[in-house]
Structure 1
Amino acid sequence: MDELISQVTTIARGMWKHRWRGLIAAWVVAIIGVMTVMSVPDKYEASARIYVDTQSILKPLMSGLAVQPNVEQQVMMLSRTLITRPNVEKLIRMADLDLGETSKAQQDALIDQVSKTLQIKTVGRDNIYTLAYRDTSPERAKKVVQSLVSIFVESSMGTSRQDSDAAKKFIDEQIKTYVAKLEEAEARLKEFKLRNIELQSSTGELNMAGQLGGISEQLRQARLELREAENARDAARRQLDLERATQSKNLMSDNSGAISTPEIDARIDAQKRNLDALLQRFTEQHPDVVGARRLIKDLEDQKRKEIAELRKAALANPTSTPANNSLAYQEISRVMATSEVLVASLRARVAEYDARYTKSLEAMKVAPQIEAEYAQLNRDYEINKKNYNDLVSRRESAAMSGELDSATGVADFRLIDPPRASPKPVAPNRLLLMPLALLAALGAGLGVTFLLSQLRAVYYDAYAMSESLGLPLLGVVSLVVDDGGAQRRKSELIKFLAATSALIVVFGIGMAALFLMSKQAG
């Protein structure tokens, strides 16, 4: 700490040695600063305020049918990108700022200067924008702001329409691409279905495991029906054999009543009923009754002859009996024939289902590969179809959005405060720059004294000199100041303080005069 204090003291004593040169530098810098501040031309600011109404009655009604852009974000982005080189060039031409600029360098400098001076600021969160520009001429500044307001309003028109047209054009190109992809996917899917048409179900889906299960169930059902038909046929055959054996046994026996002669028996029964009816009206000697009894006797004789012939034929050939004329035999024969036809049909059905089952079982070996290929084709087709439908829907939405923007516009721009130039200059702020010039002058004076103290160093401490030079210190000779020397030092100090105070007082008087002048101008 003592060493630091010693160094600071040494630097301060060195700077004090060159105090007059520093004071001169301070005065020079102060004069230059004041001249610079006073030579800066006055600038006037022109400004205007615009309110952007982003609310619309029609847009909420079209919610869900048309794309609802973020209008506030669009307006904010428009305000941030308004100051571009093409817009600034257009602004310069509209405000006639380029009348005196002929060279390319001058025009570029003017564009850069205008770009830096233009200001677009938002006021809070109410979509209010302030456009401002500063210039040495209030009328020129006002004209620039008027032109900027026109560009700001015009820039919002057509932007949404251009975006909508660009979006529709892009979507149309994408739809054409997806139409080609969809047709290609449909062709691949069609070719696959034609190639594997026998593996498809009735709904057109590829379900080989389900198809195999269905064929297996059909085969089981057909086999069950075949067994039932065979059982029915065998039962009819046994009944037929039994009927045939019964008829043969009756023919072999002497019991004529056991032998059936259906036609003659029917005629005898009819004549007996007729005889009963005649006997109820006539006597036994009536000719009709006598004729009926004679006819019954003739029929019975015919029956006995026929039975005798049947018995003789049965004795000659026991295996082939003419008992086929019986109604029971004929009915059983018909049932058996029907059963034989049904058995043959069911055997063909079982054979067909068995062949299908074997074929499906062989196809199941390659089922995973076929189903994977079918799933991939379906997936590609569904993806392309979904994208195509989405793009068509978005194209309609984009078209409706474009019509909506044409009908309502992006936003409604309302000029709250028209362009107006300030009656008094807003820059430069000389009341602020003058103290800065004073501080710069004082800083320059201190800097000069410090620089000179370092360039022309003087040792004020014997120990510091010995340490710096690395030489032994043999002795110190002290300076004894007499009364005259002390008086001279005091006089020089008074002069220095007076000169420094004069600098500050002069600045103070200038600041007061400047303040009074600004008050009178206001």
Structure 2
Amino acid sequence: MEELVRQVVGYLRGMWRFRWWGLALAWIVGIAGGVVIYMMPDKYESTARVYVDTQSVLRPLMSGLAVQPNVDQQIAILSRTLINRPNVEKLITMADLDLGVRDRQDREALIAQLTRDLKIRGTGRDNLFTLAYEDARPDRAQRVVQALVSLFVESGLVNKRQDTDAARRFIEDQIKTYEQKLSEAENRLKDFRLRNMGLLGDGARDYVTQIAQTEQQLAQARLELREAENSRDAMQRQLVGEDPVLLPQAPGGAANSVSIPDLDNRIDVLKKNLDSMLQRYTDQHPDVLGARRVLAQLEKQKQEEVDAMRKAGPGRFDSVNSNPVYQQMKLSLAESEARVASLRARVGEYEGRLVQLRASSERLPELEAEMAQLNRDYDVHKRNYESLVARRESANISVEMDAQSGIAEFRQIDPPSLPNKPSAPNRVLLMPLVGLVGLAVGVALTFLISQLRPAFSDGRTLREVTGLPVLGAVSLLQTPERAKARRRGLLAFSGGVAGFVGVVGVATLLLSMLQK
């Protein structure tokens, strides 16, 4: 600590030797600074306050139906991004600032100056903004602030409309895209169903259900077939023990008087069919000719059987159709044979269908996976499409709500002011600062000179620097004349410093009086 104090004292002694140089420089800097401050041009600041009302009665009422943008955030972003080159160029035209512009360089300088001097200050809450601008002419500052207020209001409305229009256009484009995707997904699903209709069934039953149902139908058909065959066999056994009884021969020996149930039934059916065809076709129609040919063959066959019965014996031929039980059993047997044939055909059909279903079972997992993928794509596109349509309607409601009520309303609280007193420069503050700067520069000069022209103030410092032993020191004898001269020097230096401070104070007082 003692070493530090000794070093500081050494610095001060060295600076004291050049104190007049520092005082002179302080006066020069102070006078020059005072002149510069006095000659600085006055600037007048025009201000205006704008309030943005973002509250609306419709906002809580339309919650959930209309899009609710963060208007406060939009206004805050607008206040920070309003001062840009396009807006500044508009402001120059609106405020007639380009009347004195001669070339492109002047215009660029004017744009840069406006971008630097325009100010939008917010309170941080309540959406209250202060717009300010400083200029050498009060009327021009007022015009610039008025143009800035108009630009602030118009930019807020235009940006909101542009954002809304861009959002609606984007939603419309997305709706068209998803509408096309939805149509393509529907067509793919339809084509897949048409290609695999046999395997997918009617859509209400899966593939396993179809196989189970077919197996159940096949079992039922087989059961009915066994029942029909058993019934037929029983009839055949009963028919073996029953002899036919033939009636006496009709006059003329015609075959029509003899009843043969099988042939008679077929002949009756064929005659009925022939009568039906004759009502629709002519006698030369191929179907009519074929039916008549078959009818003739059946009648011929019946005649042959009747002749055979007659040759078998008179007694047997004379008792044809006398036993009705035998004839009824023959008819029932024929019906049983027909039913057995029908059931065999049904069993064969069910067996073929079951074989086909089981043969196609290997493709079932692949088809189900493809079907699930198609349904999933279709559901996703449909869900997105419906969501976009709902958002479009919500955006339309928001636009109508903005048009009817105005979600953000700009109110001008204070119009642009016409200043009558300069707001800058603050000469009352700058003059003391110039005085302090002058003193600081004087002190710095004395320290610099003391370092450039060093001197030893005591023997210890000399010994430390040179490394040589100091045998002694010769002191200056203080005489009355030297003491008197030293006091005069101190008084003169003190007076110079006090005069500098006084002049700075007086100048500050005069400047404050001039600004009132």
How big is the shift at 1:62? 4.3
Alignment equivalent of 2:216, drawn from 221, 230, 244? 221
The reply to whether residue 375 of structure 1 matches residue 402 of structure 2 is no
CA distance in 2, matches of 1:242, 1:190: 59
Residue 465 and residue 378 in structure 1: after superposition, are their counterparts in 2 closer, same or farther (change >3 A)?
farther
Q: Distance between the aligned counterparts of 1:233 and 1:187, measured in 2?
A: 50
**Residue 194 to residue 226, structure 1, CA distance change in 2 (3 Å):** closer
| Cα gap change, 1:220 to 1:398, in 2 (>3 Å) | same
Q: Does the CA contact (< 8 Å) of 2:34 and 2:431 recur in 1?
A: yes
Match of 1:438 among 413, 421, 435: 435
Contact 1:324 1:330 in 2 (8 A): no
1:447 to 444, 448, 456: 444
Change (3 A) 1:183 1:241: closer
The one-letter amino acid paired with 1:214 is T
CA distance in 1, matches of 2:157, 2:229: 96
Looking at structure 2, the residues matched to 142 and 460 of structure 1 have their Cα atoms a distance apart, in angstroms, of 65
Mark the CA change 1:168 to 1:124 in structure 2 (over 3 Å): closer, same or farther: closer
Alpha-carbon distance in structure 1 between the residues aligned to 2:470 and 2:430: 55
Match of 2:426 among 411, 425, 429: 429
**Structure 1 position 191, deviation (Å):** 4.1
Distance in 2 (alpha carbons) for counterparts of 1:230 and 1:513: 132
Distance 2:327 2:443 in 1: 150
User: Which of 462, 469, 475 does residue 479 from structure 1 map onto?
Assistant: 475
* CA shift for structure 1 position 516: 4.2
Residues 133-142 or 397-406, more deviating: 397-406
Instruction: Indicate conservation of the 8 Å contact 1:49/1:130, yes or no.
Output: yes
| Pairwise CA distance, 1:412 | 2.0
AA in 2 matched with 1:440: V
Equivalent residue number for residue 145 of structure 1: 145
Q: After TM superposition, give the deviation of residue 500 of structure 1 in Å.
A: 0.9
CA shift in 2, pair 1:97/1:237, >3 Å: closer
User: How far did 1:97 drift?
Assistant: 2.9
Correspondence for 1:48: 48
Residue 114 of structure 1 corresponds to: 114
Distance, in Å, in 1 between the alignment partners of 2:333 and 2:33 is 140
Distance 1:224 1:372 in 2: 32
Q: Which residue of structure 1 lines up, in the alignment, with residue 250 of structure 2? A: none
Deviates further, 62-71 or 329-338: 329-338
1:162 Cα deviation after fit: 2.7
Structure 1 Cα separation of the partners of residues 194 and 474 of structure 2: 123
Distance 1:494 1:501 in 2: 10
Counterpart of 1:96 in structure 2 is 96
Deviation at 1:441, TM superposition (A): 1.2
Residue 256 of structure 2 corresponds to which residue in structure 1? none
Aligned AA (1:70):
N
- Supply the distance in 1 between the matched residues of 2:429 and 2:98 (Cα, whole angstroms): 33
> Is the contact between residue 44 and residue 141 of structure 1 (CA under 8 Å) also seen in structure 2?
yes
**Distance in structure 1 (CA, Å) of the matches to 2:368 and 2:452:** 95
Report the 3-state secondary structure (helix = DSSP H, G, I; strand = E; otherwise coil) of the residue aligned with 1:202: coil
Residue 27 of structure 2: aligned partner: 27
Asked if the contact 1:46–1:419 (Cα under 8 Å) also holds between the matched residues in 2, the reply is: yes
Question: Secondary structure in 2 aligned to 1:98?
Answer: helix
SS at match of 2:425: coil
Aligned to 2:7: 7
Which letter does structure 2 place at the counterpart of 1:123? T
Q: Which amino acid aligns with 1:240?
A: M
Q: Where in structure 2 are the equivalents of 1:358-507 lying within 5 Å? A: 358-361=358-361, 364=362, 366-469=363-466, 471-483=467-479, 484-507=481-504
In 1, Cα distance between equivalents of 2:323 and 2:461: 162
Match of 1:160 in 2: 160
- Deviation of 1:236 (Å): 2.3
SS at match of 2:417: strand
Q: Which amino acid aligns with 1:472?
A: L
Q: CA deviation at 1:141?
A: 1.9
The letter of the residue matching 2:15 is M
In structure 2, list runs of 5 or more residues that go unmatched.
Answer: 244-311
Superposed CA offset, 1:123-178 (max 9, x none): 35222222222223322222222222222222233333333333333333334444
**2:129 is the counterpart of 1:129:** yes
Preserved contact between residue 161 and residue 405 of structure 1 (Cα < 8 Å): no
Which amino acid counterpart does residue 11 of structure 1 have in structure 2?
Y
Q: How much does 1:223 deviate?
A: 3.8
1:78 maps to what in 2? Answer: 78
C-alpha deviation, 1:111, in angstroms: 2.2
Distance 2:399 2:497 in 1: 74
In structure 1, the partner of 2:297 is none
Preserved CA contact (<8 Å) 1:133 1:144: yes
TM-score by length of 1: 0.74
Q: Secondary structure at the match of 2:102?
A: coil
Cα 1:371/1:13, change in 2 over 3 Å? farther
Q: Which amino acid aligns with 2:140?
A: R
- Counterpart amino acid of residue 222 in structure 1: Q
Distance 2:112 2:105 in 1: 11
Summarize the Cα distance change of 1:378–1:466 in structure 2 as closer, same or farther, 3 Å threshold.
Answer: farther
User: In 2, Cα distance between the equivalents of 1:323 and 1:457?
Assistant: 167
Change (3 A) 1:376 1:468: farther
Paired position in structure 2 for 1:268:
none
